[in-house]
Amino acid sequence: MHLPHQRGPLHDLPDTPEAYDAVLADVVEQALRRITPEGNLEHPDCDDDIGDTSLGITSLLALAWQRGKDPRLPEAVRRSLAFHLRERVYTEDNPGYPNLRLRDSRLPYARYVLEPGAHPIGDWPSTVWALLQLVNVLELADGLLDDEERRDLALLGHGYWRWLTEVTFFNPQEAGNQAIGCVVGGLMLARHLPQQAAAVRARALRLYTDEIRAHRVRDRGALLPPEHGGAYDNNYGPISLSFLAQAHRVSGEEVFAEDGDTLARYIDARLTGGGFDNGGPRYSEQHSAFESVLGLRYFGQRIGADLGRYRGDSRWARYAVKPDGGVDGHFAWMLVWQIQDDSRWQRTPSTRIVRHQLRSGTVSVAFDDRMTPAIVEAGGAYCLPAAVGRQHGFGPVTDGFLLCRPMGEVRVRDLRAGDLTAKLVTKPVVGRDHVLRYVRSLYVTDGAALWTTVAVERLDGTPYLLAGLPYAEDDGDRVRRTSQVAVASAGPLRLTHPDGRGPDRFDARSELTQEQAAFALAADPRGYGNPDEGWSHLVASTALEAGPVPDAPDDLHVFAVRYGTSDPLTVRVERNPEGITVRTARFTAVLGPDDAHGEPELILLPA
């Protein structure tokens, strides 16, 4: 089975002016067939995320008219705009909406669901989206609307803005993408409110500083806008990056560039070379598509990284669609902005050394905050951290206890030698016996395979290396579930599957995605729960388990695994005055003593 949401890299989509004109031409023909006598451009099956959708199609028609002057479009724009103003602007409080600070304000807002009291929690982001669609129509109104119509539309936008920032609590869902989107709406709206421009712009910048930036969450060394209560979400995080790109484009404020650069470098570090990623407090594997293009392209160019390798959902490659493939106006502003933006994809990987990533050729390791691999990629396959006894990660296991959680500072040494790239991670860890040990994990790649060598002071019992959960592999422009990967070990190697059944045991042979399994363990319903928190309750999983290297020094247990090929692996380990020497057919590495600052020394010699 294929993963449903992660498909081809976003930079594979043509982004020339001719390609975008073809996209708009498609939207135009669908819209002109769909528009009702009342001017409604919503998809017939639309029932949620609806408050902005007709207006979103209107903005795309306005952009198409500005680029091609199709004589059929001015009438469609005016009719559809009239429909929105007449049928989709609400001024009476939605029954049950819990986030009001002021009742009966009579200020306008948009609804997530049209029926009164039906899922009102979504009204705040729906109003942000309606504001963004509206400001795009205003920006594209030349020759389509007269001065009075533009003035009325700007006043409606000001009403939306006041409802979002005065009548309700700001960012009630703690969703960074929604909050930054609201700030963008205010910055763009200010250009169309001569009397209130300075106040609206100042308020937008203050909200960003006080309500978003001040609440950033640290992960993997970076301060990030919080997303639904977490540091980053692999669906919404790149959408936040697009909002930061637009905020910088329209305001020129350096803070948006700085924070966008930080988020972009973080994404580059956690993203595999093949573009696969998973994790987040809302959607563990669902990926955005056209909504992410602006940010990934804009900041990829700024930081010099190939962020377009991010695998998007090709069903939403150009715009939001319903199951029948018909265009939906939801999030249409992102298509408008990416068409207007003239940045181009950076297609060459960054060469800078990054603490939380090792990447070369078709091999990559993304490390989590504790410098434990979060995803290992080699040979077109992806391994996730395995689980044993409710403990998750990669590392030595003795008597059921996984030694990967640091008890002190984690040291990292990076090195390049010839065509080899290496990272040495040294962690102080404490086992159940309360003895402090140092786990030294060496990762070496030539761009085609990954060698992992883990050394630790002698352990009791029959230890093994928990070496990952085989999970997915590339299959053309799709990602396919798998339960096996090409791997070899210098010691005994086995692939185990959890005993028993139940949602807290993940068997990679089943037709179940990590996202589905994670939501099944989450405390709240799908779409509202935290799948990462749910996944943390996993008791056991399919796992690669590698035994120790034979003939290692008596005071050490050493494990050696190579990912990307199943050819036999031979590793020799020696202890000498220079440190621990690891010899393979491809390289010799010396894990030396700590230097004067306590940092581990590493020597790497290609064979």
pLDDT, tens digit, for every residue of 368-397? 999 999 999 999 999 999 999 999 999 999
Helix axes 73-87, 17-34, angle to 10 degrees: 60
**CA–CA gap between residue 299 and residue 292 (Å, rounded):** 11
Radius of gyration of the chain (CA): 27
Average model confidence (pLDDT) for the chain? 97
**CA–CA gap between residue 47 and residue 113 (Å, rounded):** 6
pLDDT at 55: 98
**Residue 273 pLDDT grade (very low, low, confident, very high; cuts 50, 70, 90):** very high
What is the CB neighbour count within 10 angstroms for residue 601?
Answer: 15
Report pLDDT digits (tens) over 411-426: 999 999 999 999 999 9
Taking Cα atoms as reference points, which of 187, 354, 325, 185 lies closest to residue 262?
354
pLDDT at 527: 85
Report pLDDT digits (tens) over 82-107: 999 999 999 999 999 999 999 999 99
Report pLDDT digits (tens) over 210-234: 999 999 999 999 999 999 988 999 9
8-state DSSP, 360 = E
pLDDT at 500: 83
* Contact predicate 449/486, CB 8 Å: no
pLDDT at 125: 98
* Contact predicate 285/6, CB 8 Å: yes
CA of residue 20 relative to chain centroid, distance: 25
- Is the confidence at residue 331, as pLDDT, over 90? yes
pLDDT at 528: 87
- Is the confidence at residue 40, as pLDDT, over 90? yes
Structure tokens at 459: 């352990």
Structure tokens at 208: 């960003």
Helix, strand, coil shares of the chain, percent, nearest 5, are: 35, 25, 40
Structure tokens at 222: 């970076």
Report pLDDT digits (tens) over 112-169: 999 999 999 999 999 999 999 999 999 999 999 999 999 999 999 999 999 999 999 9
Write down the pTM of the prediction: 0.97
Report pLDDT digits (tens) over 9-39: 999 999 999 999 999 999 999 999 999 999 9
Taking Cα atoms as reference points, which of 427, 272, 321, 231 lies closest to residue 26?
321
**Percent with pLDDT over 70 in the chain:** 100
**Residue 501 pLDDT grade (very low, low, confident, very high; cuts 50, 70, 90):** confident
pLDDT at 132: 98
SS3 for 61?
A: helix
**Percent with pLDDT over 90 in the chain:** 98
Taking Cα atoms as reference points, which of 301, 288, 266 lies closest to residue 335?
288
- The bridge status of strand 386-388 relative to strand 478-481 is unpaired
Number of H helices, E strands in the chain: 13, 29
DSSP-assigned letters across all residues of 216-238: -EEETTEEE--BTTBS--TTHHH
